[in-house]
Amino acid sequence: MARERFGLEDKKVNISAVHQPSRREREIHRLREEITTLNKQFKRSTVYEREGIKDLTSQLRERLCRLRRAESTRKRRKDRENKRSQFTKDPFRFTRTLLGEAKSGRLTSPREVVEAFLRETHNDIFRNQVLEANPNIVSIDTPVKELNISEPSWKEIQEVVKKARSGSAPGPSGIPYKVYKKCPMLLRRLWKLFQRIWKKGNIPSCWKKAEGCFVPKEENSSTIDQFRTISLLSVECKIFFSVLAKRMTSYMTENGYIDTAMPTANAYGSIPHALIHAALDHYLIPQHIKGMIISYFGGIQLRFKTGHFTTQWQNLEKGIVTGCTISPILFIMGMNLIIAAAGKEARGPKMQSGIRQPPIRGYMDDLTVTTTTHMEARWVLTVLDRMATWARMRFKPKKSRYMVIRKGKLTNRVTLHVQGEVIPSLKENPIKCLGKWFDDSLTDRNNISSTEKQTEEWLRKIEKSGLPGRIQHGLLPRLMWLLTVYEVPMTSVERVERKINKYLRRWVGIPPSFTSVGLYIRSGQLPLSSVVEKFKVAKCRVIMTYRDFQDEQVRQAGILTRSGRKWAADSSVARAESMLKLRDRGGERHAQEDRVLELPISSNGGRLDPRIEGP
């Protein structure tokens, strides 16, 4: 319909123009040739002629230096303009490239190796075999709230499209979200098609096609195992299954089938489709919804493009598609079967507040097992081993770590195994999780020093980029995350702020004696934020997050947020809340006084005039 109404527009091909030297560059080239000629004449000249040649050469070199200085200034200005346009176009990508970990490379593996790797990753020879009944699976109660199986409403479709990013890349259909954001009539017609598809229960074959590319995991990546895949699905498919995913998430959380603290976004992994079918049956998903999901996963095909070739279509027989909107909740449902079966083997650690925490916590495809004794940990790992083997899944012991604490110190007398492989100890192999390093010191002293060095390195990168003003939205969010996850004292935060102030004074052009009070004053014209103030806000936010968390076990765990002896976050929060309560009480009292003063008083004994209505 859109093609018939608006027509087609050919894609513009950018033809790179041949670089033409500027007037200054031509002048520099001519001066270099003249200086070379004078140097040759100097060697052949007599003693009396050399003095004049020296004067000419020095004059030409002075002019050459001025031209080169002007040319370098022009190039720096041009480079700064290009970087400014890149930042304006995509600030997140520019900041990630500038301050993030270096990830670069080009896939050099031949086509045969790439396709063999994809077949090994996505093919499953046991796909058609149904999983046997497992006695370790915990039975569930009858759902209190049934899953909504009615056709998608117009409001649900509007909410999904409104929340979607306009800059998302389109899939094989070539239609981005922006089309449906700007064309409500077209979106309404799509909604009518969604209702027909929902009623029939058959997913269109064009929705089962996905094209992707390879993204490097590290710097100078070249082989296929150093790349990860990203797939692009049709926008219409993502809108349709977003409605179903939202309904299934509400169904699972409101009935208490999954932990409310477990995230359901960006959860992807290599999960067998047989486990998804078992999870749908276990959690009593209606047959109509189950039929749509099985129809969708029954024919997904993928292909990936590189700089030299495009792979053949690969059938997705195992795992889920990156970017699929229904896949995260299905992955959580499958993993919850394994977690619930192993969680009953131990009671979990007991906090100082008396609340006992669960022995297993899940975050995406990562599991954290915490027990009071190493024997309980072995029991949990044994059940996890059996459940993962039953589900045809494999753990990665090389990427896992274990830590046994005895009398406040780490010990290596105990070794833990999973699926026949030894789990490395944290004492010899530190690990990074959610941006935080864990090592055998059990403190954050090393992490604090590395954070200060990292801040210094980020400041140098920002200074070299030519865009020093991007510190506000580029460096501070990354720095605040590190200062939040680590137990950083106020003195260390002040030391980091002094380093930042040093660079800020240089970039703004103010003398070093200018105080930080004038630099971060609110009534000034500089839109700068103090690191100390942001650190205090972040720590107070952590305290209130723990206190008002929706999960009761987290809310009553009694977690302490430490910020050093110079400033205490918990006392600041208590002081601020008491001031707000006092202000509210004062406001109520003043409101009552104002209401009394506004009463219309008459002269007949202080009684109200019956013709005048009171407040």
Based on the domain organization, do 166 and 233 belong to the same domain? yes
Q: Give, as one character, the DSSP assignment of residue 227.
A: E
132 band by pLDDT with thresholds 50, 70 and 90: confident
Asked whether the predicted pLDDT for residue 605 surpasses 60, the reply is: no
What distances in angstroms separate CA 63 from CA 27, 53, 276, one per listed residue? 10, 16, 75
When mean pLDDT is compared over 65-69, 390-394, 549-553, 584-588, the highest value belongs to 65-69
The verdict on residue 355 lying in a domain is no
| For range 198-225, the mean pLDDT | 87
Domain boundary among 301, 317, 333: 333
Asked whether the predicted pLDDT for residue 415 surpasses 70, the reply is: yes
pLDDT, one tens digit per residue, over 471-508 is: 666 788 889 999 999 999 999 999 999 999 998 888 88
| For range 410-423, the mean pLDDT | 88
Mapped to the 3 state alphabet, what secondary structure does 279-299 carry? HHHHCCCCHHHHHHHHHHHCC
- The percent of residues above 70 in pLDDT, for the chain, comes to 90
- The secondary element (H helix, E strand) that includes residue 431 is strand 431-433
Alpha carbon distance 492, 472 (integer Å): 20
Q: What is the mean pLDDT of the chain?
A: 84
Give the domain range for residue 73. 23-83
| For range 405-420, the mean pLDDT | 86
Based on the domain organization, do 262 and 210 belong to the same domain? yes
| For range 142-146, the mean pLDDT | 90
Alpha carbon distance 246, 289 (integer Å): 13
Based on the domain organization, do 546 and 533 belong to the same domain? yes
pLDDT value for 2? 60
The verdict on residue 381 lying in a domain is no
Based on the domain organization, do 455 and 414 belong to the same domain? no
pLDDT, one tens digit per residue, over 2-34 is: 666 666 666 665 555 667 888 899 999 999 999
Alpha carbon distance 302, 268 (integer Å): 16
356 φ, ψ (degrees, to nearest 5): -95, 130
When mean pLDDT is compared over 205-219, 275-289, 590-604, the highest value belongs to 275-289
Domain boundary among 333, 366, 386: 333
Domain boundary among 333, 356, 379: 333
Kindly state the tokens that stand for 549.
């968390």
Residue 3 burial (CB < 10 Å; 0-12/13-18/19+)? exposed
Based on the domain organization, do 117 and 262 belong to the same domain? yes
Based on the domain organization, do 327 and 409 belong to the same domain? no
What's the whole-model pTM score? 0.77
Based on the domain organization, do 117 and 255 belong to the same domain? yes
Based on the domain organization, do 121 and 244 belong to the same domain? yes
Name which of 494, 484, 445 is nearest 562 in CA terms. 484
Based on the domain organization, do 209 and 329 belong to the same domain? yes
Displacement of CA 604 from its chain's centroid (Å): 72
Q: Which residue has the higher pLDDT, 406 or 154?
A: 154
The verdict on residue 31 lying in a domain is yes
Contact 188, 153 (CB under 8 A): no
Residue given tokens 């409001």 in the structure block: 155
Alpha carbon distance 526, 519 (integer Å): 7
393 band by pLDDT with thresholds 50, 70 and 90: confident
Based on the domain organization, do 268 and 402 belong to the same domain? no
pLDDT value for 599? 35
Q: Which residue has the higher pLDDT, 408 or 402?
A: 402
The verdict on residue 310 lying in a domain is yes
Based on the domain organization, do 197 and 304 belong to the same domain? yes
pLDDT, one tens digit per residue, over 252-311 is: 999 988 864 444 444 455 788 889 999 999 999 999 999 999 999 888 888 888 888 888
Asked whether the predicted pLDDT for residue 613 surpasses 50, the reply is: no
Q: Which residue has the higher pLDDT, 599 or 397?
A: 397
Based on the domain organization, do 420 and 489 belong to the same domain? no
Residue given tokens 């059990």 in the structure block: 442
Alpha carbon distance 317, 172 (integer Å): 20
* Domain total in the chain: 4
